[in-house]
Structure 1
Amino acid sequence: MKIISPAISRLARLRLWQIDEWVNNPVAAQREVLQELVTSAQYTEFGRQYGFNKLFNVRSFKQTVPVHEYNDIKPYIDRMMAGEDNILWNTPVRWFAKSSGTTSDKSKFIPVSEESLEENHYQGAKDVLTLYYRYNPDSELLTGKGLVIGGSHQVSKASEEISFGDLSAVLLQNSPFWGHWIRTPELSIALMDEWENKIEQLALSTIPENVTSISGVPTWTMVLMKRILEMTGKSSISEIWPQLELYIHGGVSFVPYREQFSQLIGKDINYLEMYNASEGFFAAQDSPEADGMLLFTRHGIFYEFMPLEEYGKRFPQTVGLNKVELGKQYALVISTTGGLWRYIIGDTVQFTSLSPYRIKVSGRLKHYINAFGEEVIVDNADKALAAACEKTGSSVNDYTAAPVYFSQQSNGAHEWLVEFDTPPADINQFTYELDNALKNINSDYEAKRHKDIALRMPKLHAAKKGLFQEWLRRKGKLGGQHKVPRLSNDRKYMDELLELNEQLP
């Protein structure tokens, strides 16, 4: 295996000039991507419906094609899953990534074409490796194995030719043969969907391996690492995997978890954030010092950025890369080689740099609290919790928050349900620090909290251990990318969780 790392490193350096080309010319790269998308799909049913053969520039594309959410394109996708070709994309689509995105009972099925796999997901992964080698030229990442903690991985058949599963399953089933040499666990364990047993098997099978990288959702990665330490009696993961050098994360903010990871691993390693969703591989951290992730502009996806006030319009005003602003919140709108056309994926992003274009995921279109005009987003909540943890010497596993509405007796508030890994000595002090941090981060929240006129001090409950896992289990959504909504603008999830918290021992 020692010979693999230098060979891959050389290949990575050869790719750098191609990456630099689209990094330095992102607007031109995006125009080329859109032209290729429209040209490829002009004879599909969707392309004929909207006259793709007459769309010659970005402006005409935006004026002709409305934005879509999943329910708008579901009839097309249903036909594709029934085996019809040439509907949204011009090549046969035989795989669909099953995604809930939230804890909603309804699943979404995202088309994954051969072009999606090769030009987007796999090319994105290769470029992440290339960028990592740029800043770590002496890395021995590929002298060992990458531990992948993905989703449930179960693959189901819609018909003899059509298959679906979570994105991890689709990528695993279609990955090149050499991909299985450099990752762990073996496929039979990776394909397990019963998470309690899967954690046991993951631990047993990976403890003897030379693991040099880990990728997965922070919560499940922590569960696995703690179980491995229990099994081995070791005090840190670095004692088991001394060559571990990289943790790749995405899907949720890593801010609340970083200190816990440092303690569990027991040494300094590299951390790398990726933005890889069922709909596409969008961005990845290109520099350890950079704030935000480099937007991948030449990977089969055309991006538009919709100001949040435009949400709900059939033809909203969106902007391209040449008109985005630093720090402003945008809903991400994409057109892809999978046949998603001006599709709102539901994430909100902010630009942290315009040269090169870097973004961070700030939340979800429907995951926020704005019951009183305070406009609190997930990014605000993550940072405030991290500040409160630092002030009180505590750490957080998971959380959710929701509004408490005005009543005749009192004004409004935010109610928090927090599962601590290390609880604070004084829960009231933690609540004070959380509230104070939110005021510093969000001026709208600060204004509503002024003299308790609109919002009073938050209500905070310590969740019993395992509450959020048990809630997901009861909804049949334990494991993988499923997660509790961090913020809700109503009390549906909060009331369910508070009731369950009372029932747990």
Structure 2
Amino acid sequence: MALLGNLIKKGIELNQKLSFDLKSSSQQQSEQLISLLAKAKSTSFGKFYGFDEILNSNDPIKEFQSKIPIHSYRDIHERWWHQQQSVEDITWPGKPSFFALSSGTTGKSSKRIPITEDFLQSMRDVGTSMIRELPNYDFPEELFESEILMLSSSANLSKNEKGHMEGEISGINVSNFPDWYDFFYRPGKDIASISDWDNRVAKIVEEAPNWNIGAIAGIPSWVLLLLQEVISGHNLETIHDIWPNLTVYASGGVAFETYRTDFEKICKKPLTIMDTYLASEGFFSYSTNPDSMDMRLALSHGYFYEFVPFDERGVDDFGQLIDNPLTLTIDEVETDQDYVLIISTCAGAWRYMIGDTIKFTRLDPHDIKITGRTKFFLNVVGSQLSEEKMDEALLSVSEELGVTVNEYSVAAVKNENDEYIHQWVVVSENKIDKTLFSKKLDEALKEANKNYGVARGKALTGIRVSAISKDEYFDFLDSSKKKGGQVKTPKVMGEEKMQDFLDYIS
């Protein structure tokens, strides 16, 4: 038993026992909002919307909700955030030193999200809270003296003509790591700053034998690809042949389950999977229980949350917010109900619709899982398919047919007879019987969602499946300049974009 690993583990266990909060979730969230409003009351946004008056009201939360509209990215960027690139004190005190270029899946160009010092600290604080939960997992002492491989976007940030630095959020985080992180962080800032993805992977493969990796963090598709490259580059059978202490994988960005089988194939021993909800707009939740992929919502870390029911009370048939949607606070939510997440943060996001839908799996404490994106809601002909339902159906069919499908894209398109169908493109290393897969997928979707079944009896005449290999898929991403450690590709496409995809792979 390693003395250092034992000491670190015991220290974390003691920290966990000493760290507790007797305040209710409602109290924590109320304090977060008041703190945010007080800090930003002298900004242009705070003066315009009367933060002083909100703070002095009898019910600051209700007053806040009545005075400030819910913002999309376009709303808040066009009126406020674009000024913050040049002028101080717009939506948050000071002028941000960084702007995150979103690596997400929507929009034709990257969004620019302001990243403040308070915000960077909030993300570190959530990370610390996650570390405090490690004793729940009973990890071996060896893990606590091993290194962490974080597969980020490039830490080689670019300087904007307006003076700030910009890049994807994971690259910004890495570039702001203190020097003492070098003790355990891999691949290190030098390799992380290599802009070209393939060159960065090659360098990681080269250095892999020199590292003692116990934990890995990153988006499943790119982490899996990297580990396969390490195995191939060193002629190994499993990743544990080079990193025997590898115990933990912190997933995030996309749902993990469609990757589980492929991860199991390259491991000699089981990995503990911890899920995280880390976006350009914040680090919102993290796993705390070895028996569940559900995540604990970070309630006292610089974020105030609101929740809009993802049904007729909050959205229209296309997943867009209706006028005056029902908006709930943390003490008003219930389990097993999809909600559109609305956030206010210490980066100057105010009642901002991040675009994700979540579901509470537990209320004391508040645990969640991500159920999809509002723009991944497929409802062109009334099918009302969420990302969660599509994932479930795809996983069920893959298991039944003995194949593995990690990625997919789907769109409602018109066929040769001018009738609507759902066109799927699935990514697999296995040979796919497209006719059988289409039949089974159609059946699984009907079983998973009654609205889909109704649509299939009316305007939606069928589904069509195309299958491509992972190499073809990564070539497509490369051609679209969407290749890299934090890139997520759209699961639901428009008809024109799907046609471009089909044209490329044909």
Give 1:117 deviation, angstroms: 1.2
| Contact kept? 1:156, 1:164, Cα under 8 Å | yes
- For 2:106 and 2:329, the matched residues in 1 are separated by 31
CA distance in 2, matches of 1:192, 1:436: 46
User: Residues 285-300 of structure 1: matches in 2 within 5 Å?
Assistant: 285-300=287-302
Residue in 2 aligned with 1:110?
113
Note the C-alpha offset of 1:103.
5.2
After superposition, the CA RMSD in angstroms is 2.1
Is 2:4 the partner of 1:9?
Answer: no
How far apart, in 2, do the equivalents of 1:209 and 1:291 lie?
A: 28
Q: Give the secondary structure class of the aligned counterpart of 2:224.
A: helix
The one of 63, 86, 101 aligned to 2:89? 86
1:60 alignment partner, one of 50, 59, 63: 63
Does the 8 A contact of 1:66 with 1:314 survive in 2?
A: no
Does the 8 A contact of 2:222 with 2:486 survive in 1? no
Q: What is the rounded CA distance, in whole Å, between the counterparts of 1:50 and 1:434 in structure 2?
A: 50
Contact 2:85 2:162 in 1 (8 A): no
Separation in 1 of the partners of 2:418 and 2:346? 52
**CA distance in 2 between partners of 1:183 and 1:291 (Å):** 24
Out of 406, 421, 434, which is 1:427 matched to?
434
- Corresponding position of 1:40: 39
Quote the Cα distance in structure 2 between the aligned partners of 1:381 and 1:155.
Answer: 36
* 1:497 pairs with 2:504: no
Which one of the candidate residues 456, 478, 482 is aligned to 1:473? Answer: 478
| Correspondence for 2:81 | 77
User: Secondary structure of the equivalent of 1:196?
Assistant: helix
In the other structure, the counterpart of 1:389 is 398
Residues in 2 aligned to 1:327 and 1:45: alpha-carbon distance in whole angstroms: 39
Judged with a 3 Å threshold, the aligned counterparts in structure 2 of structure 1 residues 334 and 26 are, in CA distance, closer, same or farther, namely same
The residue type paired with residue 200 of structure 2 is: K
List runs of 5+ in structure 1 lacking aligned partners: none
Structure 1 stretch 125-134 or stretch 53-62: which is displaced more? Answer: 125-134
Q: Which moved more, 1:102-111 or 1:242-251?
A: 102-111
**Residue of 342, 345, 370 corresponding to 1:336:** 345
Map 1:343-492 → 2, pairs under 5 A: 343-405=352-414, 409=417, 411-424=419-432, 426-449=433-456, 452-488=457-493, 490-492=494-496
Q: 1:382 & 1:6 partners in 2: Cα distance?
A: 40
| TM-superposed deviation, 1:35 | 0.6
Q: What do residues 219-263 of structure 1 show as CA deviations (whole Å, max 9, x unaligned)?
A: 111111111111111111111111110011110111110011011
8 A contact 1:103–1:483 mirrored in 2: no
**Range with bigger deviation, 303-312 or 388-397:** 303-312
Q: Deviations over 1:176-197 (max 9, x none)?
A: 2222211111211111121121
Distance 1:356 1:419, change over 3 A: same
**Aligned equivalents of 2:470, 2:332: Cα separation in 1:** 46
Percent of paired sites with the same residue:
31
Q: Which secondary structure does the structure 2 equivalent of 1:266 belong to?
A: coil
Native 8 Å contact 2:208 2:230 kept in 1: no
Structure 2 match to 1:122: 124
What TM-score, normalized to structure 1? 0.92
Structure 2 CA distance for aligned equivalents of residues 337 and 227 of structure 1: 39
Letter in 1 for 2:72: E
SS of the residue corresponding to residue 127 of structure 2 reads helix
Q: What CA distance in whole angstroms lies between the structure 2 residues aligned with 1:121 and 1:413?
A: 43
- The runs of 5 or more residues in structure 2 that have no matched partner are none
Shift of 1:481: 2.1
Distance 1:342 1:373 in 2: 29
Structure 2 Cα separation of the partners of residues 380 and 139 of structure 1: 39
Three-state SS of the structure 2 residue aligned to 1:395 is: coil
* Alpha-carbon distance in structure 2 between the residues aligned to 1:438 and 1:19: 45
Corresponding residue number in structure 2 for 1:145: 147
Other structure's SS at 1:265 match: coil
TM-score normalised to the size of structure 2?
A: 0.92
Measured at CA, do residues 18 and 336 of structure 1 come closer, stay the same or move farther in structure 2, by a change above 3 Å? farther
Report the equivalent of 2:335.
326
Name the amino acid aligned to 2:35: E
* C-alpha deviation, 1:279, in angstroms: 0.4
| Cα distance in 1 between the residues matched to 2:126 and 2:308 | 24
